[in-house]
Amino acid sequence: MSDNTNIPVNATTPTATTAHDKALIFEMSHPGRVAYALPESDVPEIDLNEVLPAKFQRQAAAELPEVYEVDVIRHYTALSRRNFGIDNGFYPLGSCTMKYNPKINEDVARFPGFAKIHPYQPEESLQGALELLYNLQHDLQALTGMDRVTLQPAAGAHGEWTGLMMIRSYHESRGEKRTKVICPDSAHGTNPASATVAGFETITIKSNERGLVNLDELRKAVGPDTAALMLTNPNTLGLFEEQIVEIAEIVHEAGGLLYYDGANANAIMGITRPGDMGFDVVHLNLHKTMSTPHGGGGPGAGPVGVKQKLIPFLPTPLVAKREDGSFYFDHNYPQSIGRVKGFYGNFGILVRAYTYIRTYGPEGLRKVSEFAVLNANYMLARLTPYFDVPHPRFCKHEFVLSGNRQKKLGVRTLDIAKRLLDFGYHPPTIYFPLNVEECIMIEPTETESKQTLDAFIDTMIAIAKEAEENPELVKNAPYTTVVSRLDEALAARKPVLNCSCG
Amino acid sequence: MKHRYLPITEQDQKEMMETIGITSLDDMFQDIPDKVRFKGELDISKALDEQSLLRYMRGLAGRNADFDRFASFLGAGIYDHHLPVVINHVISRSEFYTAYTPYQPEISQGELQAIFEFQSYICELTGMAVANASMYDGATALAEAGALAHGATKRSRLLVSCAVHPEARAILRTTARGLNLEVVEIGLTPEGVTDLADLTSKLSSDTAAVIIQSPNFFGCLEDIGAVEPLAHGAGALLVVSANPLTLGLLEAPGKLGADIVVGDCQPLGIPAALGGPTCGYFAVAESWMRRMPGRIVGQTVDRADKRGFVLTLQAREQHIRREKATSNICSNQALLALCASVYLSTMGKQGIRDVGKLNVHKAHYAANRLAASGKLTLPLTGSFFNEFAVKLPDGAANVQELNSKLLQRGIIGGYDLGRDYPAFAGHMLIAVTEQRTREDIDAFAAALEELL
């Protein structure tokens, strides 16, 4: 892959000294070219200096590149070809639920009636959008077993913080000062980080030898200062917390609440519900469970569901229905934690998620979870002879292996991941969760066929053999990518965070 | 059941169960206590076939008044700008939109370079040293700026102009409560800008940041250069929220001494979509680089000394620092940042100025045209870019009723300022972008004259 602009036009840019096979858009600039076609002004011209005093005006023009439309398209097409998405191949990135992103979702979200509407339009001119939001609130309530859902949070971590702020307001409303949030050591890093920004202190408890919450540790950790326990179930090892009923009792008896991190909800749809397990607050990641595209890092959506006692604290507004069947934004929550996001959340993502739900319905969503779990257990069964398995029993939608056996041969988990790139796969999540050494975390999702799984498994087995017979081959991978083993230490030590194009 | 996204056939399932050593799918769920097993059918919307689903969704979409069919004069943070057609083609490349966060740089150079270019664009527009990979939206970026200022100064009072977007201030208050910070609002002058005397009286050794927006919520330009010595004189950081589209014409806040510049990229080629998803930007002076929230992409070299890009400065982030992270944010709005980058690539050095001029010309034409009949007045005298407030005649219908009537004439009217500012009841905030023709503006003026 290359293009015809390998030689930077501006030889003074710092990047000019570095060899590369893809120019920056700034390096393609050729003064005089344009890629836009604005209308001529149809109103009387005014002197800008009259309406914009000099102190407000830009002294030096912003040095944006001057390119034409073909440059723009070729540049971004070239960049896209240097990127790997689900449509390119198998993407078993554990905890990220990289399932197929249906195309109908994309088409529907682009309907002008969804894409070209303003949040402050009169409510009577948004009834279709409000109905969609109302239905989605309802469906997510039913799916999670919660009493009310807000669609405002923009991402999972945003949902966590929203939920914890509600938990804080709930305790405060009862005149209780509870300052501690308990997280297992297998928790996602966002859990403790969200607890901090919600004003809590985090207590981390060690998992037991079965990879589950250690009830004795939990009993020791809870007390009158316990605000909440944050739990992912199935947890990040892909294991169901079998003692969830007892866990809920311990936390509730201490006066704390239970927070469900919905990162792994793809395992449980129609099979079990957080609300029935005893959770008081739940967030879902629609960009995982509900198939909305990850977009290279975002946008996502992290709706939060709560039980009755937390409803007064929900962020406003919520979408409500009048007796005459019309819909409106309900701002009347005097104890609300306030706003957490501009407007009504990531509406375009919510449209995609609702479209997805309507392709499956209740029976279909249950099948989704059953096949996600079947695929994971099949892979685990076939890979077990070749890799260390820290918790050899049925998993849910994902499982973890350890690369300890290969490490003894000098091949690290990172090397195995890089070697997978040569075979056209996105590697699994690696070195997470933190409580498994040389961790390899695999989540196939339900949208992958047996043939795809078999081909990947065979590749993993072949790499395990390579590690035994020719470890150097694995340690020096990848060989087929546009760049290989980038110097991350250099990037952090001498940060170059923009091209200083100006 | 058969479904187009599900490939496992009955035969596949049989073979897979044999390999696992089970006889029923239920065997894999035995660890879920019976007490919490869900029995029966979920009470959720029913499945539809592809044609029925498209028909149903078109029906819902058709019940919303969209910009293709209605002329919008509504802004207040979300604008109807032209979306150059190339943008949708680029963001529809599924190599971009179906990828996750670029954790594996070897197969993510496209996204990483796109983000590096986005960061470069933001630095160039804002005049700041460093920008991150983007935030949820402009409002949450503003709240994170308050949090950064607290962390950097170890002070806990945030002074925010009441001319900052009401929703951004609301989110700032929620965020501040989480971090146990105090938020104090600064009043407005009759011209429609932040009252510097009020600001001066509220500055103290506890002030972590002075937060302003320019153009502010009323459309007026703030004199950033006059706020800067006040903020810095008190040892506080200066946070400026700026509409990036205006920065083709307006001075870069970084050149005027801002420590943190934030804003929403929606005006840069992102569909309005009921207000989301959009894309916040976050840029800082070099001193605060390692305190920035969110993802950051940096340039480096690979083992053959070839240029490449990676996620960097990760020692700030939650997956390493956990409860000690600078923020809990672990994502960005990459696909919308891509929209903004493609927009800026398309507009280029000349286009970003030209589109700005069109907005200024049309908005000023509209302001004069609306005031011409004498029924509407322009209460604020501050300079503006593409948005301004008008006062309806005393005793006239309220803004909400007026907007309902405008809707029947194919017009989406302005924002009801009385919603957030009781002193501005009966005032409408009007945005005029390059999308509005002289004909649209004249029709809007004529409709208002007739209805009032």
- Asked whether residue A51 is assigned to any structural domain, the reply reads no
Decide if A52 is inside a domain.
no
The answer to whether the CB atoms of A196 and B324 lie below 8 A apart is yes
Q: Best interface-test mutation with B: which of A83, A105, A389 has the largest number of B CBs within 10 A?
A: A83
CA-nearest of A497, A296, A59 to B123 is A497
Provide the shortest C-alpha distance from residue B343 to chain A (in Å). Answer: 9
CA–CA distance, B278 with A346 (Å, rounded to integer) = 8
Which 8-state DSSP code applies to residue B237?
Answer: E
Which among A43, A112, A142 has the least Cβ separation from residue B361?
A43
Q: Which residue of B has its CA nearest to A274?
A: B36
Contact B107 A426 (CB under 8 A): yes
The upper half-sphere exposure of residue A389, i.e. CA atoms within 13 Å in the direction of its Cβ, equals 19
The rounded distance, in Å, linking the Cα atoms of A114 and A133 is 12
CATH of the domain at A418: 3.90.1150.10
Tell me the shortest Cα–Cα distance from A431 to chain B, in angstroms: 11
Residues A247 and A214: beta-carbon distance below 8 Å: no
* Cβ of residue A70 closer than 8 Å to a chain B Cβ: no
Contact B61 A56 (CB under 8 A): no
Please give the pLDDT value at position A380: 98
The answer to whether the beta carbons of residues B287 and B165 sit under 8 Å apart is: no
Does any CB of chain B come closer than 8 Å to the CB of residue A32? no
Q: What is the CA radius of gyration of chain A?
A: 26
Instruction: Please tell me the CATH superfamily of domain B71-82+349-451, with its number.
Output: Aspartate Aminotransferase, domain 1 (3.90.1150.10)
Q: A5 with A110, same domain?
A: no
Shared domain check, A345 and A295 = yes
**Residue B94, CB-side half-sphere exposure with 13 Å CA sphere:** 13
**pLDDT for residue A501:** 61
Give the residue from chain A lying closest to B47, CA to CA.
A361
Q: Which residue has the tokens 């998992």?
A: A207
- From A38, A121, A362, residue closest to B434, measured CB to CB: A38
List all residues of chain A from 205 to 234 with a beta carbon under 8 Å from chain B.
Answer: none
Residue A144, both tokens: 């999670």
pLDDT of A1: 36
Take residue B343 and report the two structure tokens written for it. Answer: 């927009």
The count of CB pairs under 8 A between chains A and B is 713
Note the pLDDT tens digit of each residue in B148-196: 999 999 999 999 999 999 999 999 999 999 999 999 999 999 999 999 9
Strand pairing class (A257-262; A281-284) = parallel
Question: What pairs with residue B297 in β-bridges?
Answer: B311
Residue spans of beta strands (DSSP E) within A194-292: 201-205, 226-232, 257-262, 281-284
Answer for the pair A297, B112: CB distance below 8 angstroms, yes or no.
no
Same domain? A150 vs A276: yes
Whether residues A360 and B116 touch (CB distance < 8 A) is answered with no
Residues A268 and A171 in one domain: yes
**Residues A42-70: b if buried by 16+ CB within 10 A, e if exposed:** ebeebeeeebbeeebebeeebbbbbbbbe
For domain B86-342, give the fold.
Aspartate Aminotransferase; domain 2 (3.40.640)
Residue positions counted in chain A: 502
Nearest CA in chain A to B45: A361
SS3 content of chain B, % helix, strand, coil (to 5): 45, 15, 40
Residue A413: give the domain boundaries.
Answer: 364-475
A381 and A328, same domain (yes or no) = no
Minimal CA separation from B203 to chain A, in Å: 24
Nearest by CB to residue A297, choosing from B66, B332, B348, is B332
Which one, of B261, B281, B434, lies nearest residue B351 by Cα?
Answer: B434
A142 touches chain B (CB under 8 A): yes
Q: Which residues from B are below 8 Å from A496, CB to CB?
A: 298-300
- Over the range A333-361, which residues count as b (16 or more CB within 10 Å of their CB) and which as e? beebbbbbbbbbbbbbbbbbbbbbbbbbb
Cβ pair B8:A371 closer than 8 A: yes
- Residues 6+ away with beta carbon under 8 Å from B136: A154, A155, A158, A298, A299, A341, B280, B329, B333
CA distance B342 to A36: 11
Chain B CB contacts of A249 below 8 Å: none
Question: A91 in a domain, yes or no?
Answer: no
CB contact under 8 A, A87 and B94: yes
CB contact under 8 A, B42 and A142: yes
Instruction: Report CA-CA distances (Å) from A102 to A106, B324, B397.
Output: 7, 38, 47
As given in the structure block, the two tokens for residue B316 are 């700030």
CATH number at residue A227: 3.40.640.10
Q: What is the DSSP letter of A320?
A: E
Are residue A262 and residue A155 in the same domain, yes or no? yes
State residue A17's pLDDT score: 57
Q: Is the dihedral of CA B345, B351, B355, B356 positive or negative?
A: positive
Candidates B376, B379, B369, B381; CA nearest to B392 is: B376
B289:A495 CB<8 A: yes
- Does A116 sit within 8 Å of B53, measured CB to CB? no
Inspect the interface and report whether the beta carbons of B95 and A360 lie closer than 8 Å.
no
Cβ(A25)–Cβ(B120) under 8 Å? no
- Structural domain spans, chain B: 71-82+349-451, 86-342
H helix count then E strand count, chain B: 13, 14
Cis, peptide link before residue A317, omega less than 30° from 0: yes
Q: What is the CA radius of gyration of chain B?
A: 25
Residues A147 and A222 in one domain: yes
Is it true that the peptide bond before A192 is cis, omega within 30 degrees of 0?
no
Residue A490 touches chain B, beta carbons under 8 Å = yes
Query: How many whole angstroms separate alpha carbon A165 and alpha carbon A71?
Result: 47
CB contact under 8 A, B8 and A375: yes
Indicate the SS3 state at residue A401.
Answer: strand
Q: Which of A1, A74, A76 to mutate to test the interface with B (most CBs of B within 10 A)?
A: A76
CA B232 to chain centre: 27
Residues A402 and A449 in one domain: yes
Whether A173 and chain B come into contact, CB under 8 Å, resolves to no
Counting as low any pLDDT under 50, the low residues of chain B are none
Q: What is the pLDDT of residues A192-227, one digit of tens each?
A: 999 999 999 999 999 999 999 999 999 999 999 999
Q: Given A312, A328, A359, which residue is the final one in a domain? A: A359
Do residue A261 and residue A138 come from a single domain? yes
Average pLDDT by consecutive 10-residue portion of chain A (502 residues)?
37 57 96 97 94 97 97 98 98 97 98 98 98 98 98 96 97 97 92 93 95 97 98 96 97 98 97 98 98 96 98 97 98 96 96 98 98 98 98 97 97 98 98 93 98 98 98 98 96 92 54
Cα of A336 vs its chain's centroid, Å: 26
Residue A297 falls within a domain, yes or no?
Answer: yes
Q: Is residue A89 part of a domain?
A: no
Residue A128: which H helix or E strand, with range?
helix A127-144
Same domain membership, residue A423 and residue A499:
no
Torsional class of A204: left (φ above 0), alpha (ψ -120 to 50), beta (otherwise): beta
> Inter-chain contact B299–A51, Cβ cutoff 8 Å?
no
Is residue A91 within 8 Å of residue A447, measured between CB atoms? no
Query: Which residues 329-358 of A have a C-beta within 8 angstroms of B?
Result: 337-349, 351, 354-355, 357-358
Select the residue from B80, B87, B323, B364 to test the A interface by mutation, using most A Cβ atoms within 10 A.
B323
Nearest to A298 among B20, B271, B331 (CB): B331
Supply the DSSP string of B71-125, one letter for each residue: EE---TT-------HHHHHHHT-HHHHT--S--SGGGBHHHHHHHHHHHHHHHHH
Instruction: Report the chain B residue with the minimal C-alpha distance to residue A135.
Output: B45
d(CA A169, CA B235) in angstroms, rounded, equals: 33
Which candidate in A118, A341, A476, A500 is best for mutational testing of the B interface (most B CBs within 10 A)?
A118
Q: Is A500 exposed, middle or buried (0-12, 13-18, 19+ CB in 10 A)?
A: middle
Report the number of distinct structural domains present in chain A. 3
Tell me, what's the pLDDT at A16? 47
